[in-house]
Amino acid sequence: MSTIEPVPVLEPQRQGRSIADGLRNALPKIVLAPSFAVILVFVYGFILWTVYLSFTTSRILPVYKWGGFDAYYRLWSQPNWYVAMQNLAIFGVLYIGICIILGLGIAILMDQRIRAEGVLRPIFLYPMALSFVVTGTAWKWFLNPGLGLENTMHNLGWTSFKFDWLVNPKMAIYTVVIAGVWQASGFVMAMFLAGLRGIDGEIIKAAQIDGASNVSIYRRIIIPLLRPVFLSAFIVLAHMAIKSYDLVIALTGGGPGNATELPSTFMYSYTFTRNQMNVGSASAVMMLMGITAIIVPYLYSELRERKQ
């Protein structure tokens, strides 16, 4: 990665005397300006707009009549919102946890001088190239209670095998976890593998000379050294979990009932189909706050560390 120098590298040297000179000096800023303006308006301006909408009485269309905290009161008194939050907690914890454990596990196995690494690595990673909609579609079929995994197990002779998670309101959220882990764990593996390859072999050699066993080398030395990778993986996965929308829609459609409602699906349905735009906006603001709480300290520390 790169360092950020506090001083401008190449300030145009002469102060422009003529208009042409002035224009030349301003050119870099003129080039950057449209992009920055677009970000200001379409990201930050739109966020403020959404925040404002959450304080209005908007229903089917945006209206700009002040409604105070009404939308937030209504949001936090919706049983549906609690279902969404609870599901996000279940999904988030399991998705992040399993992805990290599985990713680290596979990375460690892959790091044992495996002969076919070039073949195996792409196999673990390819789901990341797929659309969540494709992933959802594939897993919906794979876990189909009548014709999918259950049927296969019956054919194999395990006739008592029952797998109805997709249509079981209590278990449906776990199918989202399974499909999500399948999609992202290979990527986490690649992150850990890159981290493992970056560790100085001398440290490990020294530990081996001291007679440390393989297990304790991993437990005491290597895994602690991978701390930055854990952090990166956590940030990426947490961010994906909060944003997760397509996967749920394609896999369960938020159902059965509202069993797999997530904040993202909640926001969409309240805004565009249930005509409670202010509540939808309020939920979007909550999502934004959640992501900000995770991302901003991370970005801040990343950008700061570089300075030193």
Partner 1 sequence: MSAANETVSAGGARTARYFIYAALIILALVYLLPLYVMLSTSLKSLDEIRGGDMLAPPRDPSIAAWVRAWGEACIGVSCVGIKGYFWNSIKMVVPAVLVSTLLGALNGYVLTKWRFPGHKLVFGMMLFACFIPFQAVLIPMARVLGTFGLSNSTTGLVIVHVIYGLGFTTLFFRNYYEAFPDELVKAAMIDGAGFFRIFWRILLPSSGPIIVVTIIYQFTNIWNDFLFGVSFSSGTSSPMTVALNNLVASSTGVKEYNVDMAAAVFAALPTLFVYVVAGRYFVRGLMAGAVKG
**For residue 61, which phi and psi values (nearest 5 degrees)?**
-130, 155
Closer residue to partner 1, CB minimum distance, 149 or 259: 149
Q: Which of 96, 100, 277, 279 binds partner 1 (CB under 8 A)?
A: 277
Closer residue to partner 1, CB minimum distance, 68 or 154: 154
State the Cα–Cα distance between residues 106 and 254, nearest whole angstrom: 31
Using the rule CB under 8 A, is 10 a contact of partner 1? Answer: yes
State the Cα–Cα distance between residues 176 and 93, nearest whole angstrom: 12
Q: Which of 53, 83, 166, 282 binds partner 1 (CB under 8 A)?
A: 53
**140 with 250: CB under 8 angstroms?**
yes
Using the rule CB under 8 A, is 288 a contact of partner 1? Answer: yes
Work out whether the CA dihedral 290, 244, 180, 127 comes out positive or negative. Answer: negative
State the Cα–Cα distance between residues 214 and 150, nearest whole angstrom: 40
Q: Which of 57, 62, 97, 163 binds partner 1 (CB under 8 A)?
A: 62
Using the rule CB under 8 A, is 166 a contact of partner 1? Answer: no
Using the rule CB under 8 A, is 302 a contact of partner 1? Answer: yes
Residue at 166: amino acid letter? L
Applying CB under 8 A, which part among 67-75, 79-87, 140-148, 165-173 lies near partner 1?
140-148
Using the rule CB under 8 A, is 147 a contact of partner 1? Answer: yes
Using the rule CB under 8 A, is 181 a contact of partner 1? Answer: no
Residue 31 C-beta: closest distance to partner 1, Å: 5
Using the rule CB under 8 A, is 158 a contact of partner 1? Answer: no
Using the rule CB under 8 A, is 210 a contact of partner 1? Answer: no
- Longest Cα pair distance anywhere in the chain, in angstroms? 87
CB-based burial, 142-170: b 16+ in 10 Å, e otherwise = bbbeeebbbeeeeeeeeeeeebebbbeee
Residue 177 C-beta: closest distance to partner 1, Å: 15
